């Protein structure tokens, strides 16, 4: 499983043939000067890992297909134009399964750098996998476009080769918590997070957001990452009788386990908020999932970015609401394309400089740019399970009209 390719068969075979051809050529390989070598390139190779096994597999299931759908769309238009080379080049993704293992993630990013010779890295899913993988960007000086990663630990040491589209983890609920503003019936909140990079800071930010609304935080704990029995947590929450319950975790089984046990043990708050809710959670909860509030990295719209997001999602066999980070993956594709176009070549230093200088406008109301640490500006948008699917609650004035409280109805 460690070196298992997850990209499509054609790309897999091309990658193998390329590697075998180079190995067989050995000393007979002619080395061109760097400028000529870059000009002779006939494709742009983007490499990364995705958890196709392990606890995070359920959250990333369509992401390889999504990337390949975007690549096909770009290539059908001729590829990405590189001004300094005077031509368009097609793009190709290479993905490996990191098995939700940080050591495996780093090992595979090393392989992408040394064997696959990728031009840029696209990050894995989650802060704790990215934290391990980032070392490869420093070692090999390859631009690293982080995706679902924004824990402060990743920014403790300067790294000029990486940026994330995301704002800090503490801001994750800053568009969702205000959904409950001016609700006189909501006076208290209980919060539970999974003990892990990202989740702990996300919960910390959410707790402060509720305090800013004038609500009392009556329970605020983290549970071990491998927790399966939530009964003690649920019973402790019941004692506090909170008006709002929030649970934050990346792996779908963790969210599902808590929600099912909350239902079974009679925890019946007026509002239930759960982070990172997608199809796996919706299917597992059935009708009892209705009116749970969550968030996703897209909202309904008709801009060119919306149309492209819908098109590649449909090509991958999904809808954007089905997996919360589909919209975030699309932003990463756009960030990569924009940096390559501004760099105008495959020179890695030029791509790195273009990456840091980005000011990318999306969806008619977003601008992705980076602060001096490498943090971006992405914050997810609130939504709600209604009728077995996620429905956008953005903008908030529309969302407050549409939103239906849980009110203990499982």
**pLDDT digits (tens), the chain, 410 positions:** 433 444 444 443 333 333 332 322 232 223 334 444 555 689 999 999 999 999 999 999 999 999 999 999 999 999 999 999 999 999 999 999 999 999 999 999 999 999 999 999 999 999 999 999 999 999 999 999 999 999 999 999 999 999 999 999 999 999 999 999 999 999 999 999 999 999 999 999 999 999 999 999 999 999 999 999 999 999 999 999 999 999 999 999 999 999 999 999 999 999 999 999 999 999 999 999 999 999 999 999 999 999 999 999 999 999 999 999 999 999 999 999 999 999 999 999 999 999 999 999 999 999 999 999 999 999 999 999 999 999 999 999 999 999 999 999 99
CATH number of domain containing 229: 3.40.50.2300
Q: How many CA atoms lie within 13 A of 246 on its CB side?
A: 32
Quick one: which H or E segment has residue 368? Answer: strand 366-368
C-alpha dist (Å) from residue 123 to 47, 108, 191, 321, 371: 8, 12, 29, 21, 19
Write out the DSSP string of 127-194. Answer: HHHHHHHTHHHHHHT--EEE-B---GGGGSS--TTEEESBPPGGGTTTTTGGGGTT-TT--EEEEEEE
Same domain for 90 and 146, yes or no, is yes
Range of the domain at 194: 171-299+381-402
* Three-state DSSP state, 324: coil
Same domain for 111 and 28, yes or no, is yes
Same domain for 59 and 156, yes or no, is yes
User: What spatial distance separates the first Cα and last Cα of the chain, rounded to whole Å?
Assistant: 39
What pLDDT, on a 0 to 100 scale, did the predictor assign at position 243? 98
Same domain for 87 and 220, yes or no, is no
Same domain for 151 and 190, yes or no, is no
Q: pTM value? A: 0.90
- Is position 276 within any domain? yes
Same domain for 295 and 243, yes or no, is yes
Same domain for 155 and 186, yes or no, is no
Number of structural domains, the chain?
Answer: 2
Which pair of tokens denotes residue 121?
Answer: 């890295």
- Is position 147 within any domain? yes
Same domain for 151 and 215, yes or no, is no
Distance of CA 66 to the CA centre of its chain: 13
Which pair of tokens denotes residue 142?
Answer: 């390859």
- Is position 254 within any domain? yes
- Is position 409 within any domain? no
Same domain for 29 and 88, yes or no, is yes
- Please give the Cα distance from 323 to 310 (Å, whole number): 13
For residue 290, which phi and psi values (nearest 5 degrees)?
A: -55, 140
Beta strands in 51-99 (DSSP E): 80-82, 87-89, 91-97
Residue 169 backbone class (left: φ over 0; alpha: ψ -120 to 50; beta: rest): alpha
Residue whose C-alpha is closest to residue 374's, from 197, 168, 172, 171: 168
- Is position 407 within any domain? no
Write out the DSSP string of 187-248. Answer: -EEEEEEESSTTHHHHHHHHHHHHHHTT-EEEEEEEE-TT----HHHHHHHHHH--SEEEEE
- Is position 375 within any domain? no
Same domain for 154 and 268, yes or no, is no
- Please give the Cα distance from 121 to 336 (Å, whole number): 9
With b for 16 or more beta-carbon neighbours within 10 A and e for fewer, the 48-76 pattern comes to bbbbbebbbbbbbbbbbbbbbbbbeebbe
Same domain for 163 and 176, yes or no, is no
Which DSSP symbol is given to 56? T
- Is position 243 within any domain? yes
What pLDDT, on a 0 to 100 scale, did the predictor assign at position 169? 97
Query: How many residues belong to the chain?
Result: 410
Same domain for 36 and 139, yes or no, is yes
């Amino acid at each position: 499983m460690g070196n298992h390719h997850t990209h499509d068969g054609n790309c897999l075979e091309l990658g193998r043939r390329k590697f075998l051809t180079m190995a067989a050529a050995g000393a007979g390989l002619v080395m061109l000067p760097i400028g000529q070598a870059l000009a002779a390139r006939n494709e742009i190779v983007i490499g990364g890992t995705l958890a196709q096994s392990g606890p995070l597999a359920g959250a990333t299931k369509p992401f390889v297909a999504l990337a390949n759908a975007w690549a096909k769309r770009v290539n059908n238009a001729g590829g990405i134009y590189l001004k300094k080379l005077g031509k368009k080049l097609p793009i190709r993704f290479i993905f490996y399964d990191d098995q939700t293992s940080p050591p495996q993630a780093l090992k595979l990013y090393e392989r992408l750098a040394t064997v696959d010779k990728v031009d840029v890295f696209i990050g894995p899913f989650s802060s704790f996998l990215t934290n391990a993988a980032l070392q490869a960007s420093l070692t090999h000086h390859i631009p690293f476009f982080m995706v679902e990663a924004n824990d402060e630990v990743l920014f403790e040491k300067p790294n000029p080769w990486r940026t994330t589209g995301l704002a800090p983890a503490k801001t994750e609920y800053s568009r969702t918590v205000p959904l409950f503003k001016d609700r006189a019936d909501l006076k208290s909140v209980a919060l539970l997070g999974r003990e892990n990079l990202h989740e702990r800071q996300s919960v910390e930010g959410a707790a402060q957001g509720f305090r800013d609304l004038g609500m009392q935080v009556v329970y605020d704990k983290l549970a071990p990452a491998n927790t399966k029995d939530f009964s003690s947590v649920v019973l402790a929450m019941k004692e506090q009788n909170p008006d709002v319950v929030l649970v934050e975790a990346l792996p779908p089984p963790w969210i599902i386990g808590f929600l099912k046990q909350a239902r079974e043990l009679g925890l019946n708050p007026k509002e239930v908020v759960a982070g990172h809710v997608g199809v796996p959670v919706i299917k597992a909860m059935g009708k009892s999932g209705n009116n749970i509030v969550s968030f996703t990295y897209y909202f309904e719209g008709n801009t060119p970015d919306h149309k492209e997001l819908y098109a590649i999602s449909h090509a991958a066999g999904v809808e954007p609401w089905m997996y919360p980070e589909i919209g975030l993956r699309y932003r990463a594709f756009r960030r990569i394309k924009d940096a390559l176009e501004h760099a105008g070549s495959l020179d890695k230093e030029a791509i790195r400089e273009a990456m840091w200088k980005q000011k990318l406008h999306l969806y008619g109301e977003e601008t992705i740019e980076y602060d001096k640490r490498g943090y971006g500006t992405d914050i997810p948008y609130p939504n709600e399970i209604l009728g077995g699917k996620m429905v956008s609650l953005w903008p908030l004035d529309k969302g407050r009209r549409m939103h239906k409280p849980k009110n203990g109805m499982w």
